[in-house]
Amino acid sequence: MEVTRRKSWVVGITGASGSIYGVRLTESLLSLGYDVHLIISNAGWRVLKEELDFQAGNREAVLAEHFGGYEGSLIYHPIADIGATIASGSYLVEGMIIMPCSMGTLSSVAHGSSDNLMGRAADVMLKESRPLVLVPRETPLHAIHLENMLALARLGVKIIPAMPAFYYGPKTIDDIVNFLVGKVLDSLRIEHQLYKRWGD
């Protein structure tokens, strides 16, 4: 008997500035009909509060209010839930994006330190050869940051720094956010209409 499985992605939001990137990515995937398994680090919750006024009191209620009403479904996993479905390679997902990705999380992934669900889920992507995209948002970068990125790139991880372009004529912050989210979706071969392409 054939089992029909809805396609799903894992999205991680860490404590780097730029939490709007992860929120917009989640919204975009949900609107395209994908299910999203969402992990938010403790520092990520703090940045969501500081930058977007997400209240962390009742986290599941906050997420349900913000991400409800889309075609896809949101599944929230607490960062400490190391026994979550996505901690196992036998649970099928399309891949994982950590956006924004702090240097601490990037280092954890680069060195296989699976001490929470964020690191474990990323480790699963590596061992199962599934797409893993990291969007670091830090400046300036020192040698350890760069060496960790190089180690991950050599493993096939896509490193997409949060570097906006301006050739398409952005007028608002939303335009800049949409461009970067669109570049992530492009890297995963997911069609979207988030920004105007060169030549269009």
pLDDT given for residue 1 in this prediction: 54
Sign of the torsion angle spanned by Cα atoms 128, 83, 20, 147? negative
Q: How would you write the pLDDT of the chain (200 residues) with one tens digit per residue?
A: 555 678 999 999 999 999 999 999 999 999 999 999 999 999 999 999 999 999 867 888 899 999 999 999 999 999 999 999 999 999 999 999 999 999 999 999 999 988 999 999 999 999 999 999 999 999 999 999 999 999 999 999 999 999 999 998 999 999 999 999 999 999 999 999 999 888 77
Residue 43 lies in a domain: yes
> Is residue 56 domain-resident?
yes
Q: Is the residue at 1 inside a domain?
A: no
- Look at residue 179 and tell me if it is in a domain: yes
Q: Is residue 44 part of a domain?
A: yes
136 is in which domain, residue-wise? Answer: 8-187
Asked if 132 and 122 count as a contact pair (C-beta separation under 8 A), the reply is: yes
Q: Is position 2 within any domain?
A: no
Query: Is residue 97 included in any domain, yes or no?
Result: yes
Domain count, the chain: 1
Locate the DSSP E strands across the chain: 8-13, 35-40, 74-77, 96-101, 132-136, 158-159
Looking at the domain assignment, is residue 195 inside a domain?
no
148: buried, middle or exposed (CB in 10 Å: 19+, 13-18, 0-12)? buried
User: What angle do helix axes 103-110 and 117-127 make, rounded to 10 degrees?
Assistant: 40
Phi, psi of 52 (to 5 degrees): -125, 5
Tens digits of residue pLDDT in 59-80: 888 999 999 999 999 999 999 9
Instruction: Beginning with the edge strand found earlier in the chain, give each strand of the sheet holding 96-101 in spatial order.
Output: 74-77, 35-40, 8-13, 96-101, 132-136, 158-159
Give the pLDDT confidence of 177-190 residue by residue, as tens digits: 999 999 999 999 99
Find the CATH number of the domain harbouring 43: 3.40.50.1950
